[in-house]
Amino acid sequence: MKTGRIKLINFTRKYNGNFGTMYVYYVEMDNNDWGELQVKVENKYKIGDEINYELDSRQYNGNTVWSIKVKTPTAPFGGAKTDPNREMSIVRQSCLKSAVELCVGGKINIEQLLVSADKFVEWVNKK
């Protein structure tokens, strides 16, 4: 996978394909790669945007056509990149749910609910 900044982008055409309307742009990157970029959202990219991509080629009417295929970076082992704030929100939601279950089960009272949830969050996040 390559990374580069868009230094030139020009709309060339749009067409209706199997996945709806596609917008095609001629793109030049700051590392001198160039090719067609096809996207579902018009004007999704602009000059200066940094993208991760693969450069593919195919033959068309005896000419080589280059395609820039945008790739989303992934974490090791194929997992998606994570946002720490989102992860903490998920942990807090899970801990709150567990505290609610204790409250419904009569193990703690409503006044202890948030205190218990915070203790669970603290326990989950300790190193």
Q: Looking at residue 49, what is its pLDDT? A: 95
Of 50, 22, 17, the residue nearest 37 (C-alpha): 22
Is the sign of the CA dihedral 19, 20, 26, 27 positive or negative? Answer: negative
Q: Looking at residue 75, what is its pLDDT? A: 56
Averaged pLDDT of the chain:
90
**Percent of the chain whose predicted confidence (pLDDT) is above 90:** 76
Instruction: Quickly state the pLDDT bin for 127 (edges 50, 70, 90).
Output: low
Q: Which pairing describes strands 50-60 and 34-39: parallel, antiparallel, or unpaired? A: unpaired
| pLDDT tens figures, 27-84 | 999 999 999 999 999 999 999 999 999 999 999 899 998 999 999 766 555 555 667 8
Q: Which pairing describes strands 50-60 and 63-70: parallel, antiparallel, or unpaired? A: antiparallel
Top-confidence residue, 60 or 23? 23
Give Rg (Cα) of the chain: 24
Q: What is the rounded distance in angstroms from the CA atom of residue 109 to the CA atom of residue 90?
A: 23
| 92 in Cβ contact with 117 (< 8 Å) | yes
Q: Looking at residue 84, what is its pLDDT? A: 81
